[in-house]
Amino acid sequence: MGEVVGERGVVLRAEGLEHSFGVIRALDGLSFEVAGGELYGLIGADGAGKTTALRILAGLMKPGRGTARIAGKDPADARSGVRELLGYMPQRYSLYGDLSVGENLRFFAELFCLDRRVFAERSERLLAITRLARFVDRPAEKLSGGMYKKLALACALLHRPEVLLLDEPTNGVDPVSRLDLWELLYGFVAEGMSVVVSTPYMDEAERCHRVGLVHHGKLLLEGAPERLVGGFSGVVLRATGEMERVEGLLEGVGAGVIAVAPLGGSLRVVVAAEAAGGVERELRGAGAEVERLRPNFEDLFLARAGEVEGAEGRGGGGRSDLPLRR
Amino acid sequence: MDTDRARDGRPGRGMRFLRRTMAMAGKESLHVMRDPRTLYLALGMPVVLLVIFGFGVSFDMNDVPLAVVDQDQTPASRSLVASLGGGGEFEVVARPGDARGVDRLFRTREASAAVVIPAGMQAAWDRGERVPVQVLLDGSDGTSASNVLGTAVGAIQAESSRRLAERTLGQGGGGARPLSARVRLLFNPALRSAVFFVPGLIAYILYIVGVLLTALTVARENERGNLEQLFATPVGRVEVLLGKLLPYLAIGVVQALLVLAFGMVVFDVPLRGSVAVLGLGTMLFLFGALGQGLFISAITGSQQVATQAGALSSLLPGILLSGFVIPVETMPRVLQWIASLFPARYFVTILRGVMLKGNGLDVLWREFVALGIFSVVAMTVATMKFKRGGS
Report the distance separating Cα B209 and Cα B252, nearest Å: 8
Residues A210 and A294 in one domain: no
Measured between CA atoms, the residue of chain A closest to residue B236 is A78
Mutate to test the interface with B, among A110, A115, A141 (most CBs of B within 10 A): A110
- Arithmetic mean of pLDDT, B299-306: 86
Residues B234 and B325 in one domain: yes
Residues B121 and B247 in one domain: no
CB-CB: which of A78, A90, A160 is closest to B234?
A78
Number of domains in chain A: 2
Residues B97 and B146 in one domain: yes
Does residue B145 sit within a domain?
Answer: yes
CA distances, A36 to each of A4, A53, A250, B226 (Å): 10, 19, 46, 29
Report the distance separating Cα A175 and Cα B139, nearest Å: 75
Say yes or no to pLDDT of A319 above 50: no
pLDDT digits (tens, 9 = 90+) for A172-225: 788 888 888 898 889 889 989 999 999 988 888 889 999 999 989 989 889 998
Given A229, A248, A279, the domain boundary residue is A229
Q: Is A101 on the interface with B (CB under 8 A)?
A: no
Q: Is B387 on the interface with A (CB under 8 A)?
A: no
Say yes or no to pLDDT of A6 above 70: no
Of A311, A314, A307, the closest CA to residue A257 belongs to: A307
Name the 3-class secondary structure at A167: strand
Report the distance separating Cα B169 and Cα B176, nearest Å: 8
Q: Which residues of B touch A93 (CB under 8 A)?
A: 224-225
Given A214, A229, A244, the domain boundary residue is A229
Does residue B185 sit within a domain?
Answer: no
Is the reported ipTM for this assembly greater than 0.85? no
Residues A264 and A202 in one domain: no
Residues B133 and B96 in one domain: yes
- Arithmetic mean of pLDDT, B276-301: 90
pLDDT band, residue B1 (cuts 50/70/90): very low
Measured between CA atoms, the residue of chain A closest to residue B14 is A113
CATH number at residue A65: 3.40.50.300
Is the CB of residue B116 less than 8 Å from the CB of residue B71? yes
- Arithmetic mean of pLDDT, B154-182: 68
Contact A113 B11 (CB under 8 A): yes
Range of the domain at A33: 10-229
- Arithmetic mean of pLDDT, B76-105: 83
CATH number at residue A268: 3.30.70.340
Say yes or no to pLDDT of B325 above 90: no
Q: What is the Cα gyration radius of chain A?
A: 22
Given A179, A213, A229, the domain boundary residue is A229
Q: Which residues of B touch A87 (CB under 8 A)?
A: 232
A62 vs B298, which has greater pLDDT?
A: A62
Contact B30 A113 (CB under 8 A): no
CA distances, B336 to each of B303, B323, B351 (Å): 31, 10, 19
Does residue B198 sit within a domain?
Answer: yes
Report the distance separating Cα A153 and Cα A87, nearest Å: 9
Residues B283 and B311 in one domain: yes
Average pLDDT of chain B, as a whole number: 83
Residues A156 and A16 in one domain: yes
Q: Which residues of A touch B8 (CB under 8 A)?
A: none
Residues B111 and B201 in one domain: no
Range of the domain at B290: 23-56+192-385
Does residue B15 sit within a domain?
Answer: no
Q: Is A98 on the interface with B (CB under 8 A)?
A: yes
Residues B138 and B203 in one domain: no
pLDDT band, residue A152 (cuts 50/70/90): very high
Residues A97 and A245 in one domain: no
Residues A35 and A54 in one domain: yes
Residues A225 and A279 in one domain: no
Pick from A200-204, B176-180, B242-246, B317-321: least confident:
B176-180
Residues A218 and A252 in one domain: no
Report the distance separating Cα B231 and Cα B129, nearest Å: 87
Is the CB of residue A180 less than 8 Å from the CB of residue A144? no
Residues B364 and B262 in one domain: yes
Does residue A260 sit within a domain?
Answer: yes
CATH number at residue B78: 3.40.1710.10
Highest mean pLDDT of the ranges A20-29, A95-104, A289-298, B211-220: A95-104
Report the distance separating Cα A170 and Cα A188, nearest Å: 17
CA distances, A23 to each of A19, A29, A307 (Å): 10, 16, 24
Say yes or no to pLDDT of A18 above 70: yes
Q: Which residues of A touch B243 (CB under 8 A)?
A: none
Report the distance separating Cα B72 and Cα B60, nearest Å: 31
pLDDT digits (tens, 9 = 90+) for A105-136: 999 999 999 999 999 999 998 998 888 999 99
Q: Which amino acid is at A296?
A: N
Contact B22 A98 (CB under 8 A): no
Question: What per-residue confidence (pLDDT) applies to A52?
Answer: 94
Residues A56 and A201 in one domain: yes
Q: Is B234 on the interface with A (CB under 8 A)?
A: yes
Residues B220 and B350 in one domain: yes
Residues A217 and A242 in one domain: no
Does residue B4 sit within a domain?
Answer: no
Does residue A266 sit within a domain?
Answer: yes
Does residue B259 sit within a domain?
Answer: yes
Residues A71 and A108 in one domain: yes
Residues B83 and B152 in one domain: yes
Q: Is B218 on the interface with A (CB under 8 A)?
A: no
pLDDT digits (tens, 9 = 90+) for B332-356: 899 899 988 999 999 999 999 999 8
The DSSP element (H or E) to which A146 belongs, if any, is: helix A145-157
- Provide, rounded to the nearest whole percent, the portion of chain A with pLDDT above 70: 91
Question: What per-residue confidence (pLDDT) applies to A176?
Answer: 85
- In this structure, what are the phi and psi dihedrals at residue A258, rounded to the nearest 5 degrees? -90, -45
Does residue A4 sit within a domain?
Answer: no
Strands laid side by side in the B90-94 sheet:
B90-94, B64-70, B113-117, B134-137
Question: What per-residue confidence (pLDDT) applies to B169?
Answer: 66
Question: What per-residue confidence (pLDDT) applies to B275?
Answer: 92
Does residue A319 sit within a domain?
Answer: no
Question: What per-residue confidence (pLDDT) applies to B364?
Answer: 92
Say yes or no to pLDDT of A33 above 80: yes
Question: What per-residue confidence (pLDDT) applies to A162?
Answer: 93
Residues B198 and B244 in one domain: yes
Number of domains in chain B: 2
Residues B297 and B152 in one domain: no
- The structure's pTM equals 0.76
pLDDT digits (tens, 9 = 90+) for B41-61: 788 888 887 777 767 665 566
Question: What per-residue confidence (pLDDT) applies to B385?
Answer: 86
Given B170, B205, B225, the domain boundary residue is B170
Say yes or no to pLDDT of B246 above 70: yes
Report the distance separating Cα B55 and Cα B51, nearest Å: 6
Say yes or no to pLDDT of A325 above 60: no
Question: What per-residue confidence (pLDDT) applies to B19?
Answer: 94
Contacts of B325 (CB under 8 A, 6+ apart): B200, B319
Average pLDDT of chain A, as a whole number: 85
Question: What per-residue confidence (pLDDT) applies to A312?
Answer: 66
Does residue B13 sit within a domain?
Answer: no
CA distances, A46 to each of A26, A169, A244, A325 (Å): 11, 14, 27, 15
- Looking at the complex, report in whole angstroms how far the Cα of residue B29 sits from the nearest Cα belonging to chain A: 11
Question: What per-residue confidence (pLDDT) applies to A87?
Answer: 93
DSSP class of residue B108 equals: T
Question: What per-residue confidence (pLDDT) applies to A113?
Answer: 92
- CB within 8 Å of chain B, chain A residues 114-133: 115, 118
Q: Is A93 on the interface with B (CB under 8 A)?
A: yes
Does residue B285 sit within a domain?
Answer: yes
Given B136, B170, B204, the domain boundary residue is B170
Under 8 Å CB pairs connecting chains A and B tally to 95
Report the distance separating Cα A23 and Cα A34, nearest Å: 30
Residues A63 and A125 in one domain: yes
Residues A43 and A136 in one domain: yes
Residue B291: alpha-carbon gap to chain centroid: 21
Contact A99 B1 (CB under 8 A): no
Does residue A322 sit within a domain?
Answer: no
